[in-house]
Structure 1
Amino acid sequence: MADQSIIRITKEIGELQKSSDLSLAVAFRDRDVRNVRALIIGPHETPYEFGFFEFSVKFNKDYPRKSPSVTGITTNSGRCRFNPNIYSSGKVCLSILGTWRGERGEEWSAAQGLESILLSIQSLMSSNPYENEPGFEDANELQDKKNQKDYVAKIRHESLRISVIQRLEEYLGINNTSAISQQSPEQRDYDLDIDDDVEVDDASIPWEPFKDLCKRRFLWYYDTYLESIKKAKEEVKDDQAFVRMPFEGASNSMEGKFNYTELEQRIRRIKKAIDAESDRWAVEGGSARTKDATVAVNLARQFEQIKESFKRSEVPHNIELVDGNPFVWSFTHFGRPMTNLDGGMFRIQLNFSPRFPEEQPRVKFLTPIFHHRIAADGTPCYFPNPSRREDVRQHIDAIIEALEEEQPPYDPRTLVHPEAHRLYWGNADQRKVYNRQLRRSVQRSMEEI
């Protein structure tokens, strides 16, 4: 029975890791498949939008006959209740987990699995989470309507502050006085140890399986975060206190004050730090190259193979190493004839980490282009084959596919350029405006030659 349980868990993890669902990610450490970390990215048009919410999933030996236990990790050290059903203690109230009394047929069954659990949790992250609290499902009174608005407002602020900004600052080693003052003494001590360059045993360093993913997604959603801040500034004032909800208790609530001015400063600082990190990779890579590091040799070999394949291809492409560094590639894509990209020349740079493929490449269009899958700073939203993350050709092909795809399915999780996204998925007149903007950027690319 135990072996069957392990097989089932491993299969479910593998399917999720190969999935094209951009809002879910799972990982486990070493061979311990019974202890899984899961990341849920907050849904579009909710106060959780593009937040990074992490959960611990522990499978018992009776799985799938019995459901696993799930605990929320993104709680600001137990001080933030992100949802009526997601407590500050990390408890997740769901009937399929046996943590909430549901209707008949809503209990756990062996037909369910890890993905259905994560999707159920994600469904709690709605546009109006106030209604998730029992007894408040049909709240129609004037005070209830005000509470709904106030509840959404503070969740939006804390989702950005805690799940995005605080998480990325910790990943990047950015000191933020107000954030540190809100941490537990143990966490403050740990952060100070790391920042002071004190040697730490690898075993004591927290396991962060989603660090690279969150950094890359931050670059995708950076402009959306800024738009959200701009809109929120019109609705609430700095230093305005959060309103406590009727169902919130002293030890299970979301307390604090709004301060979007500070959040904007912090989010811009994170963006600069990630960009600087990409630049450091080139320097680190150059050093690794001189030592014939395995990653450098691998990238150099892949570069020669891809360059040779492009020479034999009918599609014109140009690819070079920047300053001979195998960790920095320059790729020029020529727009296909009879498309909106016809005649365009787009220079794209790929920066590789000395820890590739553990850290995936940072890609940027150096040639400005107005495109719904390319952020204003040139960061493309593309999807390489998850099972071949070490194959650079997969990345290049996926970048080209994202750029040239003529009839992409609507997916708000690819919202990396807010203005272009709205126009592209708008009405017929808005699509015409989008096409004109795209053609102008294509023409400008030709003028720069």
Structure 2
Amino acid sequence: MSNNSYIVRISKELSDLQKSSDLSLAVACRDIDVRNVKAIIIGPPDTPYEFGFFEFAVKFGKDYPGKAPSVNATTTNGGRCRFNPNIYAGGKVCLSILGTWRGERGEEWSSAQGLESILISIQSLMSSNPYENEPGFETANTDDDKKNQKAYVAKIRHESLRISVIQRLEDYLGISADGAVQQVPSINEEDDIDEEMHEMDRDAFDEASASFDPFRDLCKRRFLWYFDSYLLAISKAKSEAEDEQSFTRMPFECSGNIMEGKFNYTELERRLRLIHKTMKVETARWAEEGLASIKKESSVASNLQRQYEQVVESYKRDKTVTLDVELVDKNPFVWAITYFGRPMTNLDGGLFRIKLFFSPRFPEEQPRAKFETQLFHHRIASDGTPCYTSKRSEDVKSHIDAIIEALEEEEPPYDPRTLVNPEAAKLYWGSADDKKLYNRKLRRAVQRSMEE
């Protein structure tokens, strides 16, 4: 392979992954160095890793694809947490495809494989029973082994929430873990947050922002998607583990390569709710920052104003959908959308108000949408956050179209990664009677929307 052809190969793989519709994987690198890649795997549903954010550093050698890249797990709580029998606290990932574990013939690396197959292989380790990845599991049938399997799942679920979700988001938001109160300017309904918010270390936060951290915005948006699911997981886990109960040590865990700690779901829930409130404040603050950037005649403000004018004209000509778009207080960083339910659907006759909040760093930071009209829908979280994916991140109309498409979708494929309202999803994909109840709840919400 020529000196530069491996760079072309890596670049194509990265581009394909970034264009993929897979909601579980994301990759990024600095433009000047495609050989050093960061990847994130979002924990699979119905596992103890559910909707956790697990990051990996991938380094390609000049002999790629003849030889597999090196892969190192970086979500390890500073080298103190072993999240899987095959993912060590020090970051080592044991997989035959990487040449770090002896596998069966045909499981070793070949040049036909690539970064996506590596990430999917790692993701497969994140199963509902990760204990089974330990060699010799096939013969582990004693009562003690069965107890260990359950105990292992329990502590992984706790630490996935604590480390991969809570610690990560607290770091992104500058929330310290010492419990000190932060004085934050009150914004509308968030006036009561000051009493319980943690202190932000602004210097550390600004320094962290300057470093290469490509998944900051993705994790924030996904946190809002899955907030209800995190709370549901905590509610279930509280009945299985008491606060201050110590983790069970596994037979395969050894000093320096272990997962130690104690359960404290009460504390995790408090921290989760604080993150959620802090994000609401951050979103509301974008409006203020946007107004300031307008005075500075920023390119983002001009871009959003121009897009607003184009979107208004576009929807005037589009007879297939009925919606109005306005700027809130003439601020191009806050859009108010009024969508009228399409005839002959469950949304028929409904009037739904949606707000789109834009960051002064758009499109690096994607817009955050919120349904002001309460709606019982499997793609809309209880706080009004819709789950959608835009085909063109820089195009606002693409975001609006994607929101409406998710709302109107008939006979959607079952994908638990898009189900951000657990109660609605359970009914929608339940029995025939459950589906009828879902439709009734949705119709009642639609009727209420016309009364508000």
Same fold? TM cut 0.5: yes
AA paired with 2:372?
Answer: L
Partner residue, 1:254: 259
Choose the corresponding residue for 1:233, options 219, 227, 238.
238
Q: Distance in 2 between matches of 1:15 and 1:428?
A: 39
| Deviation, structure 1 residue 426 | 1.1
| Deviation, structure 1 residue 178 | 7.9
| Deviation, structure 1 residue 200 | 6.8
Q: Distance in 2 between matches of 1:147 and 1:426?
A: 32
AA paired with 1:44?
Answer: P
Q: Distance in 2 between matches of 1:75 and 1:238?
A: 22
SS at match of 1:14: helix
Q: Distance in 2 between matches of 1:372 and 1:400?
A: 14
Partner residue, 1:322: 328
> What are the superposed Cα offsets for residues 330-358 of structure 1, whole Å, 9 maximum, x if unpaired?
00111011100000000000000000000
Q: Distance in 2 between matches of 1:384 and 1:361?
A: 10
Partner residue, 2:270: 265
Partner residue, 1:398: 402
Percent identity over the alignment is 71
Partner residue, 2:440: 436
AA paired with 1:235?
Answer: E
| Deviation, structure 1 residue 31 | 2.1
Partner residue, 2:187: none
Q: Which 4+ stretches in 1 moved above 6 angstroms? A: 198-202
Choose the corresponding residue for 1:301, options 288, 298, 306.
306
SS at match of 1:230: helix
Partner residue, 1:4: 5
Verify the 8 A CA contact 1:2 1:62 in the aligned structure 2.
no
SS at match of 2:244: coil
Partner residue, 1:384: 390
| Deviation, structure 1 residue 77 | 0.2
Aligned Cα RMSD in Å?
1.7
SS at match of 2:82: coil
- Structure 1: 5+ residue runs without aligned partners? 180-192
Q: Distance in 2 between matches of 1:41 and 1:74?
A: 12
1:63 counterpart = 2:80? no
Choose the corresponding residue for 1:286, options 281, 287, 291.
291
Partner residue, 2:108: 107
Alignment CA distance shift 1:322-1:44 (3 Å): same
Q: Distance in 1 between matches of 2:179 and 2:328?
A: 40
Partner residue, 1:127: 128
Partner residue, 1:206: 211
| Deviation, structure 1 residue 250 | 1.1
Verify the 8 A CA contact 2:175 2:200 in the aligned structure 1.
no
Q: Distance in 1 between matches of 2:247 and 2:212?
A: 33
> What are the superposed Cα offsets for residues 383-413 of structure 1, whole Å, 9 maximum, x if unpaired?
101xx21000000000000000001111011
SS at match of 1:147: helix
| Deviation, structure 1 residue 199 | 9.9
Q: Distance in 1 between matches of 2:43 and 2:93?
A: 16
Verify the 8 A CA contact 1:39 1:55 in the aligned structure 2.
yes
- Structure 2: 5+ residue runs without aligned partners? 181-198
Alignment CA distance shift 1:194-1:33 (3 Å): farther
AA paired with 1:134?
Answer: P
Q: Distance in 2 between matches of 1:287 and 1:221?
A: 32
AA paired with 2:355?
Answer: Q
SS at match of 1:409: coil
SS at match of 2:10: helix
AA paired with 2:158?
Answer: H
| Deviation, structure 1 residue 137 | 3.1
Aligned pairs, how many? 433
Alignment CA distance shift 1:198-1:93 (3 Å): closer
Alignment CA distance shift 1:252-1:300 (3 Å): same
Verify the 8 A CA contact 2:339 2:352 in the aligned structure 1.
yes
Q: Distance in 1 between matches of 2:48 and 2:419?
A: 16
| Deviation, structure 1 residue 45 | 0.5
AA paired with 2:3?
Answer: A
1:310 counterpart = 2:339? no
Partner residue, 1:95: 96
Partner residue, 2:420: 416
Q: Distance in 1 between matches of 2:256 and 2:178?
A: 24
Q: Distance in 2 between matches of 1:197 and 1:43?
A: 35
User: TM-score, normalised to structure 1's length?
Assistant: 0.94
1:331 counterpart = 2:337? yes
1:183-202 aligned within 5 A = 195=201, 197=203
Verify the 8 A CA contact 2:174 2:205 in the aligned structure 1.
no
Verify the 8 A CA contact 2:58 2:71 in the aligned structure 1.
yes
SS at match of 2:33: coil
> What are the superposed Cα offsets for residues 115-157 of structure 1, whole Å, 9 maximum, x if unpaired?
0000000000000000100012342211000000000000000
1:244 counterpart = 2:271? no
Alignment CA distance shift 1:114-1:352 (3 Å): same
Q: Distance in 1 between matches of 2:249 and 2:112?
A: 39
Verify the 8 A CA contact 1:332 1:345 in the aligned structure 2.
yes
Choose the corresponding residue for 2:279, options 274, 280, 288.
274
| Deviation, structure 1 residue 108 | 0.1
AA paired with 1:381?
Answer: C
Partner residue, 1:357: 363
Partner residue, 2:351: 345
Partner residue, 2:377: 371
Q: Distance in 1 between matches of 2:17 and 2:318?
A: 34
